[in-house]
Structure 1
């Protein structure tokens, strides 16, 4: 989502769960993770919100009284493809498959760590963002094919390592947005952490910048992280 002057707006999450305590916990945690959060205690209440508001992702409890989460999503899929993640206490494989066949993008079993939920939400949103973007990202003389993970400069392929492919994938998925170390670590599911990210950024700059000391494309935003400038 984009706001005024191209600034990124937080993704809007609708949490649907009949457990008030869990709803409140998720609302606080997801808000602290920079999401905009609305909560509903039933499928009926969720429908009322969906009539007048736009959401980037739904977090749905499967075993709600009355209309279950599976029934709610099956009905919603007749008119909407908004991404959805199921919260489920069910451990049987067949039950999970049924949920995914209904149209859920992912599920997480209770009890769960809130950080894992955040990671799964971000992965779904990243996949949606990538699907909506062209596979070829252009910046200066460079082009990056996000499907093939190939970097080219003026049409000639530039060799980059697997770690650099992962890092460039993060930046192209969030072009012109600031990514912190934690953002990058989350997007890479912890495969890169802390100072190793600084090292990888420095190495990638040697392949993108004429003078890595004064970067034009992969810029440092002091105290916040880095940004890939494509415009």
Structure 2
């Protein structure tokens, strides 16, 4: 991890977004903290789960970079507790190459993940991407369909008037579906349009579809809104019954 990184123009003009780095490896923490600091972020560091939760309570971050393997309380539990407190974006770091570990991180609410060893510059770009998508876009008008409403300006989503607890990616995915009903999208298209990635692990989309169905469908096993289009991907419908579906 020895790369140069030039901060984006204007990144150091005043205090930047707050990023909490949670990693018990001093070398990794130092490198990550240094790159984020040079990119214009206000960076804090915690070496274990309890310290991370305490720092997040004392000074709520705009984003958390969270190692999966932590002493005492692992990153999955830390992520669960952070997500229970609010919709702070989380990027998970993992030294494992097993897809199951990456999926577990997404299942508990992580918005993105980076596998060690990683490029510090790539991590900074991922941080920038997640924070950029967390900010309201140019299309700030609420959109509604099938009893669901998303309000991009307020970053608020409701189902039949009841607020939904959505992660950043789930919110963006639901907003995209509501704006494009009736059309089938492949996982590659969803990754590009919703995540802003030209390439990546397609299981990321699969996991988020599953999680979103669990929050917006009456029966996630028989989805009537987010339907699987076999051989293509997914399509948002406004209420037509569907057969039992596997993601």
Secondary structure of 2:56's counterpart equals helix
TM-score w.r.t. length of structure 1: 0.54
| Alignment pair present for 1:81 and 2:87 | yes
Q: 1:115 to 1:69 in 2, by over 3 A?
A: same
* Deviation (angstroms), 1:105: 0.3
Equivalent residues in 2 for 1:31-50 (5 A)? 31-50=37-56
C-alpha deviations, 1:180-218, integer Å up to 9, x for none? xxxxxxx998xxxxxxxxxxxxxxxxxxxxxxxxxxxxx
C-alpha deviations, 1:31-84, integer Å up to 9, x for none? 011111000001111111112212110000001121000111112222221000
Q: Distance in 1 between matches of 2:73 and 2:38?
A: 30
Corresponding residue number in structure 2 for 1:97: 103
Secondary structure of 1:77's counterpart equals helix
Corresponding residue number in structure 2 for 1:110: 116
TM-score w.r.t. length of structure 2: 0.50
8 Å CA contact retained: 2:31, 2:120: no
Provide the aligned length of Structure 1 versus Structure 2. Answer: 136
Q: Distance in 1 between matches of 2:138 and 2:60?
A: 17
| Alignment pair present for 1:54 and 2:54 | no
Q: Which has more radius of gyration? A: 1
* Deviation (angstroms), 1:11: 0.9
Cα RMSD after superposing both structures = 2.7
* Deviation (angstroms), 1:132: 9.4
User: Runs of 4+ in structure 1 displaced over 6 angstroms?
Assistant: none
Runs of at least 5 residues in structure 1 that lack an aligned partner in the other structure: 1-6, 137-146, 148-186, 190-231
Runs of at least 5 residues in structure 2 that lack an aligned partner in the other structure: 1-12, 143-175, 177-195, 199-247
Query: Which residue among 16, 24, 48 is the counterpart of 1:10?
Result: 16
